[in-house]
Chain A
Amino acid sequence: MHNAVQMDAAATPILQVEGLDIEYRSAAQASVAARDVAFSIGRGEVFGLVGESGSGKSTVLRSIIGLLHHKARVVGGAIRVAGQEVTRLNSAALAELRRRHVAMIFQDPLRALNPVMTIGAQLAEVMEAAGLRDRAEIHRRIVGALQDVGLADPEIRMRAYPHELSGGQRQRVAIAAALIRSPELILADEPTTALDVTIQDQILRLLYDLCRDKGMSVLLVTHDLGVVAEVCDRVGVLYAGRLVETGTVAQVLSAPSHPYTAALLASMPRKGERQARLRVIPGRPPESTIDGCPFAPRCAHALPACSAIPPVLAVHGADRASACWRHDELRERLAEEASVG
Chain B
Amino acid sequence: MASGPILRLKGVSKAFRVGPRTLGRPRLLLRALSDVNLEVEAGTTLGIVGESGCGKSTLARIIVGLTQPDAGVVAYEGADLTDLHRRPPAVALGIQMVFQDPYSALNPRMRVGDTILEPLRVHKVVAPQEAPDERDRLLEIVGLSPALARRYPHELSGGQRQRVNIARALSVRPKVIVADEAVSSLDVSVQGQILNLFSDLRDQLGLTMIFVSHDLNVVDHLCERVAVMYLGRIVEEGRGSLLSQGARHPYTRGLASAVPQPIPGRRRVQPAIGGELPSPTNPPSGCVFRSRCPDVQPLCAEVAPTLDPMGPDHRAACHFPLTLRFETPGGRDAADDLTVSSTS
Contact = CB atoms under 8 A, between A and B. Distances in A.
Interface of A: 52-53, 150-152, 166, 168-169, 196-202, 204-206, 208, 223-231, 249-250, 253-254, 263-265, 267-275, 277-282, 284
Contacts of A264: 188-189
6 contacts: A196-B214, A197-B214, A198-B271, A267-B191, A271-B330, A272-B329
B259 A202 contact: no
Interface of B: 51-52, 157, 159, 187-193, 195-196, 199, 214, 216-218, 220-222, 224, 240-241, 243-245, 254-256, 258-274, 276-277, 329-330, 343-344
A151 B276 CA distance: 11
B276 A168 contact: yes
A274 B258 contact: no
A279 B191 CA distance: 11
Contacts of B258: 197-198, 200-201
B322 to A, nearest CB: 17
Residue in B193, B218, B224, B264 with the greatest tally of chain A CB atoms within 10 Å: B264
B343 A267 contact: no
Contact of A284 (B189, B222, B224, B256): B189
B267 to A, nearest CB: 6
Given A196-B214, A271-B243, A205 B268 contact: yes
B343 A274 contact: no
B221 A270 contact: yes
Contacts of B157: 284
A54 B330 CA distance: 30
A197 B262 contact: no
A269 B217 contact: yes
A278 to B, nearest CB: 4
B189 A270 contact: no
Contact of A229 (B195, B262, B277): B262
A249 B190 CA distance: 23
Contacts of B216: 197, 271
Given A197-B51, A206-B343, A226-B261, A271 B268 contact: no
Given A225-B188, A267-B191, A271-B330, 15 more contacts: A151-B344, A152-B344, A196-B51, A198-B273, A225-B262, A226-B259, A249-B264, A250-B265, A271-B244, A271-B256, A273-B221, A274-B221, A275-B221, A279-B192, A280-B196
A303 to B, nearest CB: 21
B261 A229 contact: yes
A254 B190 CA distance: 22
Nearest to B45: A275
Contacts of B269: 205
Give the 10 A-B CB pairs with smallest separation, nearest first: A226-B260, A269-B221, A272-B244, A201-B258, A225-B262, A272-B330, A280-B192, A196-B51, A267-B192, A52-B187
Contact of B196 (A166, A205, A229, A277): A277
A154 to B, nearest CB: 12
Contact of A281 (B189, B245, B270): B189
Contacts of B217: 226, 268-271
Nearest to B330: A272
Contacts of B343: 150, 202, 206
B330 A281 contact: no
A197 B259 contact: yes
Given A150-B343, A168-B276, A280-B193, A250 B264 contact: yes
A198 B272 contact: yes
Contacts of B254: 198
B330 A273 contact: yes
B21 to A, nearest CB: 17
Contacts of B272: 198, 201
Contacts of B273: 198, 201-202
A174 to B, nearest CB: 16
A284 B157 CA distance: 9
Contacts of A267: 188-189, 191-192
A149 B301 CA distance: 29
A269 B51 contact: no
Nearest to A222: B260
Given A166-B277, A280-B192, A265 B262 contact: yes
Contact of B188 (A206, A223, A253, A279): A223
Contacts of B190: 284
Contact of A280 (B189, B259, B267, B274): B189
Residue in B187, B255, B270 with the greatest tally of chain A CB atoms within 10 Å: B187
Contacts of A265: 262
A200 B255 CA distance: 11
A270 B330 contact: yes
Contacts of A202: 271, 273-274, 343-344
Given A150-B343, A223-B188, A253-B264, A271 B277 contact: no
Contacts of B191: 267
B218 A52 contact: no
B256 A199 contact: no
A222 to B, nearest CB: 9
A205 B266 CA distance: 12
B195 A278 contact: yes
B266 A278 contact: no
A272 B216 CA distance: 10
Given A150-B343, A196-B51, A196-B52, A201 B220 contact: no
Nearest to B269: A205
Given A168-B276, A269-B217, A150 B344 contact: yes
A289 to B, nearest CB: 18
Nearest to B266: A229
Nearest to A228: B262
A281 B266 CA distance: 27
A241 to B, nearest CB: 15
B194 to A, nearest CB: 9
Nearest to A260: B189
B159 A197 contact: no
Given A52-B188, A152-B344, A197-B255, A229 B260 contact: yes
B193 A271 contact: no
Nearest to A194: B52
B199 A277 contact: yes
Contacts of A269: 192, 195, 217-218, 220-222
